[in-house]
Amino acid sequence: MDLHTIESIETPRTRADLTGLSATDGLLSGGTWLMSEPQMHLRRLIDLRGLDWPDLTVTEQGLEIAATCTIERLIAAEYPPEWRATPVFSAAARALVASFKIWKNASVGGNICLGFPAGAMISMTSALDAVLLVWKADGSDQRLSVPEFVVAQNQTALEPGDVLRSIMIPASALTQPTTLRKMAMSPLGRSGVVVIGRREPAGALISVTAATRVPFVISTKSMEPDEVAAQVDSAIPPQAYYSDAHGAADWRRHVTGVLTRDVVVELAGS
């Protein structure tokens, strides 16, 4: 789509070049959403790809993902064999309503910054204890968990001038097996419920997204499916589920329980 209100496109090279961002500036990473509909409030685009952040950095501490890293790059890379959780990267990408062509441009950080309930990268990173590094407009750094970052439907903790720099997934989470289940109202429809489970030493961690306005992460000490499902249901307020064209709130709540049980059964055998 042509963005006819845009007057200039800037390509920053250093963090200092990001000084003075305003509400009329659009941060361009992959641009797949930015270019999908009119952006009448924007007058300038800031192409973050000019900062040349390394897409992926593997260390003993874990995996650092640049906000500008494409989804395709994330799922195509090779990782240490002991990182048993990495298959969830591609599973989450398939839960995104987008073809493999979109993966070539859509960025991990861009998907998170939209704050959409069905954001597939929000689902994946919330399940893996990711820490988001935000470059604040005043020059300071802020680190947030995904549930702290996504504060409401289509709303994040970012303030004017803030930039999401990277996503850090700890090695402790990457070494644990994961599984993902999703449900949509149609085979190729937007996810109505996404449940990701991660096997922990003393139980399971369950991440619920798409069904709720914000991510919910529940750590349990049980591997009994009905018990875990009950704990998840108790931890999520009924009003956190929402209704739209992709599913009613009561349907989303019920399916969350069904998928949670499926996830726990699979994790128990991993």
Q: How far apart are CA 239 and CA 107, in angstroms?
A: 31
* pLDDT of 1 higher than 80: no
* Domains identified in the chain, total number: 3
Residues 243 and 165 in one domain: no
Q: What residue numbers bound the domain in which 63 lies? A: 52-173
User: In terms of domains, do 239 and 155 share one?
Assistant: no
Which residue has better confidence, 261 or 190?
Answer: 261
CA dihedral 78, 177, 237, 98 (to 10 degrees): 30
pLDDT at residue 102 in the model: 80
CB of 153 closer than 8 Å to CB of 122: no
Residue 165 lies in a domain: yes
The owner of tokens 């950080």 is 109
Q: Which residues pair with 152 in a beta bridge?
A: 155
In a domain, 28, yes or no: yes
Q: Please tell me what DSSP assigns to residue 240.
A: G
| 96 vs 184: which has the higher pLDDT | 184
Same structural domain for residues 169 and 57? yes
Domain boundary among 146, 173, 200: 173
CATH of the domain at 237: 3.30.390.50
* Least confident segment among 30-44, 50-64, 193-207: 30-44
Pair 80, 150 in one domain: yes
Residues 130, 186: one domain?
no
pTM: 0.94
The confidence band for 221, taking pLDDT boundaries of 50, 70 and 90, is very high
Q: What is the pLDDT of residue 148?
A: 97
Q: What is the distance between the terminal CA atoms of the chain, rounded to a whole angstrom?
A: 45
Same domain, 57 and 161: yes
- The owner of tokens 């096997």 is 199
Pairing mode, if any, of strands 25-28 and 44-47?
parallel
Higher pLDDT, 39 or 171: 171
Query: 168 and 126, same structural domain?
Result: yes
Distance between CA 132 and CA 134 in Å, rounded? 6
Q: Do 158 and 76 fall into the same domain?
A: yes
